[in-house]
Amino acid sequence: MNMVKKIVRRFFFAAFLTAGAVIMIYPFIWMISASFKGVAEMYRIPPTIIPREPTLDNYKVVFEQISVLAGMYKNSLVICSAITVLQLLVTSLAAFVFAKMDFPGKNFLFILFMAAMMIPGQLTIIPNYYIIKLLGLMNKRGSLIALGTFSAFAVFLFRQSFLSLPSELNDAAKIDGCGYFRSYARIHLPLIKSVLAVNAILTFNGAWGDYFNALIFLKRIENMTLPLGLSMLQGMYSTQSPPVTVATMTVALIPVLLVFLVGRKKLIAGVATTGIKM
């Protein structure tokens, strides 16, 4: 009887997960399918997953705009890569200080950092605008890089990872003559590589899809990122050929998919690691 209950429970659990996976992946599959369809077939009811009359005309239109898209691709890659690298460095250093060093007001300061996670980004847009303007970064890619360098969530994530490491590592580092920075760089940081990979993937993907900040701080077309450029192309082609917009979005997803596919094992390992001590 217990064996039957386990089988039934596993069946329903598997069915639930399968249904959830289908619901989540269907829009992605539909987007790729629609990029190879004509306008009439794209709006056909019921929708078809496999195009009946596949066409590459949508991608031809996209690549006719390759000179514009290439610049936007370059801007997005530069900005996202810079944000990812700088955020890993800055937030991991801050997390190491909170986890392994003692100084007056440490806990209070950490609480302030965590309070920043409760504030929606839209509420900080006005002070951020004035700060970026005072720094002379308006209409420059550096504005998005400066805004994305720090993340309170990343500090929390890395701090928890550093706390999970034995304190004896610090004592061993001191015996070997290592200061705090050398201990951070040579001992502690390599031990949380999986967590670093998780944050790197999440940061890159988040920066790649950032539309709001790009809309506020970037006005020149030569500095636009891909999400902002896609909205411009949508305005140009949506009334004439919606599949062209879908094809452009499919092309824009390629770097994000590559980052995920390359780092998926590290992502899974890092998620498991962060559950050690929360």
The residues spanned by each domain of the chain are: 56-273
Q: For 237-272, give the DSSP string.
A: HTTT-HHHHHHHHHHHTHHHHHHHHHHHHHHHHHHH
What pLDDT shows up at residue 123? 83
Mean pLDDT of 202-229: 87
Helices (H), the chain: 2-34, 39-42, 57-64, 66-100, 106-115, 125-134, 141-148, 152-163, 168-175, 180-183, 189-191, 193-208, 212-217, 226-237, 242-252, 254-273
Q: How confident is the model at residue 4 (pLDDT cuts 50, 70, 90)?
A: confident
Answer whether 225's CB lies under 8 Å from 76's CB: yes
Short-list 29, 153, 140, CA closest to 87: 153
CATH code reported for the domain at 56-273: 1.10.3720.10
Q: How confident is the model at residue 273 (pLDDT cuts 50, 70, 90)?
A: low
Q: How confident is the model at residue 270 (pLDDT cuts 50, 70, 90)?
A: low
Pull the structure tokens for residue 119. 């504030």
Cis bond before residue 46 (omega within 30° of 0): yes
What does pTM read for this prediction? Answer: 0.81
Residue 10 has pLDDT above 50, yes or no: yes
Q: How confident is the model at residue 236 (pLDDT cuts 50, 70, 90)?
A: low
Question: How does pLDDT run across 239-261, given as a tens digit for each residue?
Answer: 557 788 888 888 888 888 888 77
Question: How does pLDDT run across 146-164, given as a tens digit for each residue?
Answer: 999 988 889 998 998 888 8
Q: How far apart are CA 115 and CA 119, in angstroms?
A: 7
Short-list 187, 207, 176, 183, CA closest to 81: 207
Short-list 276, 219, 255, CA closest to 76: 255
Pull the structure tokens for residue 57. 């005309």
The mean pLDDT of the chain is 83
